Amino acid sequence: MRLIDVDGTQVGIIETREALERARQASLDLVEVAPQSRPPVCRIMDYGKWKYEQKKKEHKARAKRHGMEMKEVRIRTPKIGKHDLDIKVQRARGFLERGDRVQFTLRFRGREMVHQNLGREVLNSVKAALNEVAKVERNFRMEGRVLTMVLASTAKPRPAKRASPKQAPTKSAAAESQPESAAPAEPVPPPAEAPPESPAPAEPAPPPAEAPPESPAPAEPVPPPAEAPPESPAPAEPAG
């Protein structure tokens, strides 16, 4: 096997038994790093430490990917005008400079499916325009009537601007700003209190409403006077 020492120097091709003895003397591990090559390449190293560093790197990469967002820029037709395409490119540039990934989506409608090469030309021009701040993460992919492409950011994300706290003037600076012969200001007298307002006279209560006069009860009808009985005729005197 071909052996690499712990400090990275090339030892050369040696027997496996000798390589194991070297690793045992250094209290380290003999790790095969390139099994496909002939002869295979092994290295003397601390395998536990190397594995820990690999996990740490994966954790950092995962956290960085989690902080990124996938933005989408839609192109509705492969016959898009140059001015409209420039607007979409500038919008994607803002996302990429912020550290996000961008997916371009180009949709073919009707007979436009016959001219898929036009869509690829549009996305190639987008790639060329954003070459300074992006790299291709996933090249053209046709899904039904939609052609997609994903670009990843290569620019350093711009840090958010933070307002610097205002520093209070020092004592010496405040003293220099004041004139030396300035007399102390006189205290301002408190404003005179306004006399209490006299309460407004109460409005007289309106007189109670007079009750409507009661209508007199109807008089009872007077009964007619009883008729006197007819007087009986006086008896006739006898004739003498």
Q: Give residue-wise pLDDT tens across range 97-137.
A: 888 889 999 999 888 888 888 999 999 999 999 999 999 99
Examine residue 177 and state whether it is found in any structural domain, yes or no: no
With bands split at pLDDT 50, 70 and 90, how would you rate the model's confidence at 181? very low
Note whether 74 and 57 are same-domain residues. no
**How far is Cα 118 from Cα 123, in angstroms, rounded to an integer?**
9
Whole-angstrom Cα Rg for the chain? 56
For 75-105, write each residue's pLDDT tens digit.
988 889 999 999 999 999 999 988 888 999 9
User: What's the pLDDT at 63?
Assistant: 66
**How far is Cα 240 from Cα 229, in angstroms, rounded to an integer?**
33
Residue 144, domain CATH = 3.30.110.10
Examine residue 216 and state whether it is found in any structural domain, yes or no: no
More confident residue, 162 or 51: 51
Note whether 104 and 133 are same-domain residues. yes
User: What's the pLDDT at 148?
Assistant: 93
pTM of the model: 0.41
Note whether 19 and 47 are same-domain residues. yes
Examine residue 114 and state whether it is found in any structural domain, yes or no: yes
Examine residue 182 and state whether it is found in any structural domain, yes or no: no
Examine residue 237 and state whether it is found in any structural domain, yes or no: no
User: What's the pLDDT at 174?
Assistant: 41
Note whether 34 and 72 are same-domain residues. no
Residue range(s) defining the domain that contains residue 75: 68-153
Note whether 40 and 75 are same-domain residues. no
At 125, list the tokens: 């021009």
Note whether 86 and 115 are same-domain residues. yes
Examine residue 46 and state whether it is found in any structural domain, yes or no: yes
Taking CA atoms, 20 is separated from 1, 30, 45, 48, 68, in Å, by: 11, 6, 12, 17, 45
Last residue of a domain, which of 17, 41, 64?
A: 64
Total domain count, the chain:
2
Note whether 130 and 146 are same-domain residues. yes
Taking CA atoms, 156 is separated from 97, 172, 203, in Å, by: 7, 43, 81
What is the 8-class DSSP label of residue 37? S
Note whether 6 and 75 are same-domain residues. no
CB 116 within 8 A of CB 108: yes
With bands split at pLDDT 50, 70 and 90, how would you rate the model's confidence at 39? confident
Query: Does residue 149 have a pLDDT over 90?
Result: yes
Residue 56, domain CATH = 3.10.20.80
User: What's the pLDDT at 105?
Assistant: 93
Last residue of a domain, which of 113, 129, 153?
A: 153
User: What's the pLDDT at 206?
Assistant: 56
Mean pLDDT lowest among 67-76, 85-94, 130-139, 189-198: 189-198
Examine residue 126 and state whether it is found in any structural domain, yes or no: yes
Last residue of a domain, which of 90, 124, 153?
A: 153
Mean pLDDT of the chain: 75
Note whether 82 and 143 are same-domain residues. yes
